[in-house]
Structure 1
């Protein structure tokens, strides 16, 4: 029987950790192992983990040095033994059928010789896990792929939230090691698998993503979005931190990329180059498929503004 591992990163998460672990206990398909990497918690996190180790096959690995989000999840990936692996944050809540439905979808789409990811959606919720769509900072069209296995959907829309992923073990041959503090681990993993293997993006929401102001991965994503500050308007169709991730992944994994997919990414990256002429920008923009109209409009507007104001 296939083995499913959950990799969880914790750090002073005692406030919400019990609810998350309870949601794992209530799954219709119970995980075979839960690998927890703790980054040096000083609250009651470890006590809660010890309590749940009696009802889940849960092992605790405490870091002697602070590793951060990417380092914690990379360590967990190296420790887990499952055929299929899921990431888990310490402060969300998984719906009871999350593992079961994602596992079934993985079996439908998987080729065991190829790295495969199944990625579901989530529902934004407030601190009390009350659904609150207004907390979602992203346009609705970003999270609804037109074609579930089209790599271009991942390139344009990201669709790679770590806590909503299931990976087959073949992925580990390509995604490790994860660059430390250079990229968001989930952007990096989702992009690489989309370039090499198969990534299926489900439309179903299977978890509550709790927004409470101190979300670790949200703050990491925000840092990558804001740093370094760009003085000019981004004429590209994806944020600069997407481009940064793509460039790092290309520098490390390009030899594995499917040529057609790599060529598509090069076109997307080129749109962020403010040195392109307006006509070259327009040509690339309107000859590249799968770019939403709203993004085309924004890209063209920024390009024209940069030209007018000589930015």
Structure 2
């Protein structure tokens, strides 16, 4: 019997590319797909398109208050029905037909699939608005909790989680401090002792069209600009997020992860000497892709982290 995957999609004024993405989800092979859509306050023809598909019994959608992308997706997790697996979907990409089947095969082959929180994170092919390929650096997903404290490099539109991880997330309230939904889910999975499975094979076309919430291109200059801009609008958003994770999931964290988290929070909010020590602490450093350490170090040195 085919495993059921509930695909969770948040829409907002996505009329231009929505049909193409929905069709690519409905055309997945080897799995039973159920598509649940939460509209985050669209004012274009998005709702009419969703209604058309719903009238044909191809998806279910509902409207909600404008929560913005991150909270809208986590709300979807809380509103999701029972299923074998769950996947996040953007409104403007295109999935290869065996994207979900490949993800489920990799998750099912893990010995802890029935009980351990597991998260599949895949690669992607960046394309322009017309689906022409765009050259891009190799994508990488961090796979340890120490590395996730530095940077949760995990693209939401590639993610598929098992029931155990969805239950962990659903049994806690929506967080107040989130960079993005994928960042939060990735951190929670690794924090509570779950595992992340990275697939280097691109299984989707990640469309870049100028209106993306996160376009997937992050140079050192981009990171400095991002940190500087956010520093004036947020108060230590990264450590606030980790502190909330500690408050919500602290009792579920293995002892080693509790120590990693407490040390990072203590030194990340300490004096300059302590922040420098944390910034270059080899325990946390991402060795496989050193450029992912940049934002962490910049934030600490600027006393923003």
Sort the TM-score into its range (normalised by shorter chain): 0.7 to 0.9
1:227 to 216, 230, 250: 230
CA–CA separation in structure 2 for the residues paired with 1:301 and 1:59:
43
Structure 2: state its 5+ residue gaps: none
Aligned-residue RMSD, C-alpha: 3.6
Structure 1: state its 5+ residue gaps: 231-239, 307-311
The residue aligned with 1:126 is 128
- In our comparison, the structure showing a higher alpha carbon Rg is 1
CA–CA separation in structure 1 for the residues paired with 2:109 and 2:46:
37
CA–CA separation in structure 2 for the residues paired with 1:79 and 1:295:
32
The residue aligned with 1:111 is 113
How far off is 1:20 after superposition? Answer: 0.6
Contact residue 7 and residue 85 of structure 1 kept, 8 A: yes
The residue aligned with 1:257 is 253
The residue aligned with 1:235 is none
Q: 1:108 to 1:150 in 2, by over 3 A?
A: farther
Question: Secondary structure at the residue paired with 1:192?
Answer: helix
CA–CA separation in structure 2 for the residues paired with 1:33 and 1:119:
20
Question: Secondary structure at the residue paired with 2:16?
Answer: helix
The reply on whether 1:190 has 2:190 as its aligned counterpart is no
Contact residue 5 and residue 84 of structure 2 kept, 8 A: yes
Contact residue 243 and residue 269 of structure 1 kept, 8 A: yes
Question: Higher helix fraction: Structure 1 or Structure 2?
Answer: 1
Contact residue 117 and residue 189 of structure 2 kept, 8 A: yes
How far off is 1:71 after superposition? Answer: 3.6
How far off is 1:149 after superposition? Answer: 4.8
Question: Secondary structure at the residue paired with 2:17?
Answer: helix
Q: Which moved more, 1:190-199 or 1:170-179?
A: 170-179
The residue aligned with 2:175 is 179
CA–CA separation in structure 2 for the residues paired with 1:291 and 1:132:
26
Question: Secondary structure at the residue paired with 1:209?
Answer: strand
CA–CA separation in structure 2 for the residues paired with 1:227 and 1:299:
13
How far off is 1:49 after superposition? Answer: 2.0
Give TM-score, length-normalised by structure 2: 0.78
The residue aligned with 1:37 is 38
CA-to-partner distance for each residue in 1:89-136, whole Å, 9 max, x for gaps? 1011112221011010110124322211111122222111222135xx
Contact residue 122 and residue 201 of structure 2 kept, 8 A: yes
Number of residue pairs the alignment of both structures matches: 287
How far off is 1:275 after superposition? Answer: 0.8
Question: Secondary structure at the residue paired with 2:280?
Answer: helix
CA-to-partner distance for each residue in 1:208-267, whole Å, 9 max, x for gaps? 211222123559x9998532339xxxxxxxxx6543422221222111111212323444
Question: Secondary structure at the residue paired with 1:36?
Answer: strand
How far off is 1:48 after superposition? Answer: 2.0
The residue aligned with 2:200 is 203
The residue aligned with 1:17 is 18
How far off is 1:61 after superposition? Answer: 0.9
How far off is 1:86 after superposition? Answer: 0.4
1:246 to 230, 242, 258: 242
The reply on whether 1:158 has 2:159 as its aligned counterpart is no
Q: 1:76 to 1:275 in 2, by over 3 A?
A: same
Q: 1:8 to 1:298 in 2, by over 3 A?
A: closer
Where do 4+ consecutive residues of structure 1 move more than 6 Å? 221-224, 295-303
CA-to-partner distance for each residue in 1:187-213, whole Å, 9 max, x for gaps? 111101111122222222211211222
The residue aligned with 2:280 is 285
CA–CA separation in structure 2 for the residues paired with 1:119 and 1:144:
9
Contact residue 9 and residue 88 of structure 1 kept, 8 A: yes
Q: 1:208 to 1:228 in 2, by over 3 A?
A: same
CA–CA separation in structure 1 for the residues paired with 2:241 and 2:299:
22
